[in-house]
Amino acid sequence: MDNKLTKSRLSNLLAYEWIAMMITIVIAIVVLEFIFNASAARLTTGQQFNYYYDTTIYSGNDKAFNQFILDKKTFSYDVINVSGEGLTDEYNTLPLRVSVQAADIMITELTDDPENNQLIKRANLHIDGQSISSIEKLVKDAKEYVKPFVVNMANLSTPTLNEQAVEENFNKRMARDNRYRFNSEAKAEGLQLEKERIVKLCKDISDLEYLLERDETLPDSQKLFYSYKKYTQIYNNQPENSSDKQRYEQLLANEQVERYGLRVDRLVTNSNKKNPSDFFRKVGGGDAKDVVILAFDFTKQQPDLQYETLSFMTMVVREFGTELDNR
């Protein structure tokens, strides 16, 4: 057998070794990528808080508003990413965002604008066509959510926690969260943050209940919440005797007037407060007149973090108005 090492054979050997080396490197990269993706902590729907400026709302000051939200520690520890987005008629990403439940708050307005010889309120368009919750429903659902974690539901402003129930829920929620899975010290810290989250949510519920009850004593011109009967606008704008008209008539019959939006322009403010118009105003407008804040409802997708929307609303009232100053 001719085993003599020649220049040709050496060249072939090196070529084969190079190919094998490249294959090994590619396999290693793929394996490392798989391990990284499998072990990385992915954000859930609730851990991402997304708010939107409607097409008619100015969003040019969002960088400052986003920082303001963070500075005020608006959300619990488990909300990891907070982002705002201005929608445009040319490139409206809302349908896509809603389809993957990446929506929490809509900042829109109530002005009647002529459209096809009909009067259309932007807020009503969203309430009729999107997964928008009434504030009353959000508060009611939030109370049901915290009930297992609270000893006395009659005192939500300063709640006493059922710590065992809180811990059990925390362990269940964080079973696949790499922040707390492998480190007992981090887990203990996380549990403390979880208790603070429940306490803060209870306070937000109490504050919203107070504001809703207060609203009932005020004249319509001063009410802080926008009331509407869902499907009224879309029903009125259907052609007579059409199948859609009949369908919305049936839907409308099952609805009642509820409070859907927080009216930013009705906040009672003073020099010690932030000016609402700095962050909430219509395109081309100079103040917050007719601006309203709506909350999306994706409770099934984010059962523990749905009620961060209440925290957003109470923050707006506290920082821009005086209504909660004595709470």
Return all residues near 133 (Cβ < 8 A) that are at least 6 apart: 141, 260, 295, 296, 297
Residue 307 is given by DSSP the state: T
Q: Which residues, listed in sequence order, are joined to residue 295 by a DSSP beta bridge?
A: 105, 133
At residue 71, the pLDDT reads: 96
CB-count exposure of residue 38 (10 Å: 0-12, 13-18, 19+): exposed
The dihedrals phi and psi of 93, each to the nearest 5 degrees, come to -90, 0
The pLDDT-based confidence of 314 (bands split at 50, 70, 90) is: very high
Please check whether residue 327 is in contact with residue 213, taking contact to mean a CB–CB distance below 8 angstroms: no
Q: Which residues, listed in sequence order, are joined to residue 229 by a DSSP beta bridge?
A: 257
SS3 content of the chain, % helix, strand, coil (to 5): 45, 15, 40
Q: What is the rounded CA–CA span in Å between residue 173 and residue 304?
A: 9
CB-count exposure of residue 18 (10 Å: 0-12, 13-18, 19+): exposed
Q: Which has the higher per-residue pLDDT, 39 or 155?
A: 155
Angle at Cα 138 formed by Cα 132 and Cα 143, nearest 5°?
165
CB-count exposure of residue 269 (10 Å: 0-12, 13-18, 19+): middle
Count the neighbouring beta carbons within 10 Å of the beta carbon of residue 83: 12
At residue 169, the pLDDT reads: 95
The dihedrals phi and psi of 112, each to the nearest 5 degrees, come to -80, 125
Query: Per residue in 177-213, pLDDT tens?
Result: 888 877 889 899 999 999 999 999 999 999 999 999 9
The pLDDT-based confidence of 176 (bands split at 50, 70, 90) is: confident
**The residue to which tokens 């052609």 are assigned:** 239
Query: Per residue in 265-276, pLDDT tens?
Result: 999 999 999 999
At residue 285, the pLDDT reads: 86
Measure the CA dihedral 93/96/97/99, to 10°: 160
The pLDDT-based confidence of 89 (bands split at 50, 70, 90) is: confident
At residue 35, the pLDDT reads: 45
Q: What is the rounded CA–CA span in Å between residue 34 and residue 12?
A: 33
Amino acid identity of residue 57, one-letter, is I
Of 15-29, 139-153, 162-176, 233-247, the range with the lowest mean pLDDT is 15-29
The pTM for the full model equals 0.85
Confidence check: pLDDT of 219 > 60: yes
At residue 5, the pLDDT reads: 54
Query: Per residue in 15-61, pLDDT tens?
Result: 555 555 555 665 655 555 544 444 445 678 889 999 999 999 999 99
Confidence check: pLDDT of 117 > 90: no
Per-residue pLDDT, averaged over 310-316, amounts to 97
Amino acid identity of residue 148, one-letter, is P
At residue 20, the pLDDT reads: 58
Nearest to 86 by CA among 115, 111, 50: 50
